Amino acid sequence: MKAFADLYTRLDATTSSNAKLQAMQDYFATAAPDDAAWAVYFLAGGRPRQVVPTRVLRELTTRLAGLPEWLFEESYQAVGDLAETISLLLPEAEHSSEHGLAWWLQEQLLPLRGLPPEELAVRLPPLWAQLDRQSLMVSLKLLTGAFRVGVSKLLVTRALAAMAGIDAKRVAQRLVGYTDLSHRPSAERYLALIAAESDDEHAQRGGQPYPFFLAHPLQQPTDQFDTVLGPVEDWLVEWKWDGIRAQLVKRDGRLWIWSRGEELVTERFPELHELGNALPDGTVLDGELVVWKQQTDKAFGIQPFALLQQRIGRKTLSAKLLAEVPVVLLAYDLLEWRGADWRSKPQAERRTRLEVLVAELGDERLRLSPEVTGRDWSDLARQREASRELGVEGMMLKRRDSLYGVGRTKDLGLWWKWKVDPFSIDAVLIYAQRGHGRRASLYSDYTFAVWDDASPGERVLVPFAKAYSGLTDEEMRKVDAIIRKTTVEKFGPVRSVTPSLVFELGFEGIALSKRHKSGIAVRFPRMLRWRTDKTVEDADTLATLQGLL
């Protein structure tokens, strides 16, 4: 644990990539493989859920330190980080534990999950008494699920590659799916990351996906596209779908579905399992998981993202739910075909093969993300204006000669996302108003606010936008119930509420405005997501909003 805490301290102390790289290389050079396995997991962004509730940690700290609650609070205010505050308040100990990160996690920390507070109060103090301040702080960060250190996955990849003497792209490939919670880090998995390259590695990959190739935002005005992008014929243009980016992997007679977060989500999408039988072995598709219900009055069957999010939140997937909220894969790329890695073939060739494959399969759960064609860029810009009605986020532009890169690289190929909602912000619902027509009985029109510093150390919520679209009916009913429960005052049709709900708002433009209290006006705001994963405190600030100007 101490070696990992020292690594954390070194990484935390510097902003230089080279110094970080050196620190990681030093650590991996001496760490035991099982410890290194967990270190890679955390450095690459792996985050186990919170193990011990924050409240329990606070109470235990004030008791062990003999401090009143308010003094803990004052200290926390001064430090600004919970784990650090606790590590500074607990009685200081000599570091007496010889055990490494893996032992601490597997034998001591992770088994604490779910224990009652009384049990935690007995178990934690003797553990803490073995750790010096640094190690204590790091272990508290691991316990609260708040471990973050400023290294990119790319940098971790480089450190491992340099140490193992193998190509960084190979390590990146092996690292895909490493932080997925379905299998724990282990010495074996770590050794596999840094093993020498072998000829049959490709064949032994099991269900491993490829690192996702990511698009860059396109922000230039359309009249510059000819200069920036060249002729429209050089580009494959598609709609930008608002779903979950995923890879569908079929190998060895089995099917795996991976989300962009490199999480294995196969079990969440049973309706796609039959595709596993239809696809030939050695096929990897890249595409977007979306809820799809064809309606006669719409060009596409795509449903709001919120529905998909809701489905993912469900523990059990009933037949009824699967029928009501069916998911399809909109495929847009072919990364592996008949067991061969196709990523170094041009986009156009991959696309042609993909079109044939989808057509041959003829399965409505595997759809082709259609190509959008236009005479020129301004023609496409006109078509793009329909994005909102079509239920898409804008367009994707992929060079027809693009290879499939790794992450945000630009050297192998180029993808642009040309979004209609270039702006988004997490805001707090503070007022609600009754809707019209069908929604007259519901509080469906909301006023949103962001944080602003009224005076040093004191934040207030300033309203900046109103929005009423983007939620499903079911979400709206839930929000309505919460609004009624948290009402502070009523002014005619409007209610003010105790702030508790956070939404991601999307909007198309932003400008200074004297008419608004916030000094800012946004164009076409709408709710993109209900951020049930965020608290009011996590919402964005006016400064963030001003930063978009």
Partner 1 sequence: MELVIARPEGLYCPPGDFYIDPWRPVERAVITHAHGDHARTGNQRYLAAAPGEGILRSRLGQDINLQTLAYGERLDHHGVTLSFHPAGHVLGSAQVRLEYEGEVWVASGDYKVEADGTCTPFEPVPCHCFITESTFGLPIYRWQPQAQIFAGIDDWWRANAAAGRASVLFAYSFGKAQRILHGIDESIGPILVHGAVEPLNAVYREGGVRIPQTLYAGDIAKTDPLLRQALIIAPPSAAGSTWLRRFGEYSDAFASGWMLLRGTRRRRGVDRGFVLSDHADWPGLLWAIEQTGAERVMVTHGQVNVLVRHLRELGLDARGFKTEYGDEDEAEPAA
List interacting residues with partner 1 (CB under 8 A).
Answer: 12-15, 65, 67-68, 70-71, 74-75, 78-81, 84-85, 88-89, 92
Q: Which is nearer to partner 1, 252 or 537 (CB)?
A: 537
Q: 55: exposed, middle or buried (C-beta count within 10 Å: 0-12, 13-18, 19+)?
A: exposed
Q: Which is nearer to partner 1, 74 or 371 (CB)?
A: 74
**What is the largest distance, in Å, between two alpha-carbon atoms of the chain?**
74
**Minimal distance, residue 164 CB to partner 1, in Å:** 25
Q: Which of 461, 442, 457, 465 is nearest to 516 (CA)?
A: 465
Q: Which is nearer to partner 1, 204 or 455 (CB)?
A: 455
Q: Which is nearer to partner 1, 149 or 312 (CB)?
A: 149
**Minimal distance, residue 19 CB to partner 1, in Å:** 8
**Minimal distance, residue 88 CB to partner 1, in Å:** 4
3-state secondary structure of 168: helix
**Minimal distance, residue 4 CB to partner 1, in Å:** 16
* AA letter at 394: G
What single string gives the DSSP state of each residue in 20-55? Answer: HHHHHHHHHHHS-HHHHHHHHHHHTT--PPPSS-HH
Helices marked H in 420-490: 473-485
* AA letter at 234: D
Q: Which is nearer to partner 1, 62 or 179 (CB)?
A: 62
Q: Which is nearer to partner 1, 75 or 487 (CB)?
A: 75
**Minimal distance, residue 148 CB to partner 1, in Å:** 12
- For 427, the token pair is 């805001």
What single string gives the DSSP state of each residue in 79-121? Answer: H--HHHHHHHHSPP--------HHHIIIIIIGGGTT--HHHHH
**Minimal distance, residue 84 CB to partner 1, in Å:** 6
CA–CA distances in Å: residue 252 to residues 99, 256, 284: 40, 11, 12
Sequence-distant (6+) residues with CB within 8 A of 62 are: 68, 69, 71, 72, 89
DSSP helix, strand, coil percent of the chain (3-state; round to 5): 40, 25, 35
3-state secondary structure of 220: coil
Q: Which is nearer to partner 1, 12 or 234 (CB)?
A: 12
**Minimal distance, residue 61 CB to partner 1, in Å:** 10
**Minimal distance, residue 47 CB to partner 1, in Å:** 19
Q: Which is nearer to partner 1, 89 or 366 (CB)?
A: 89
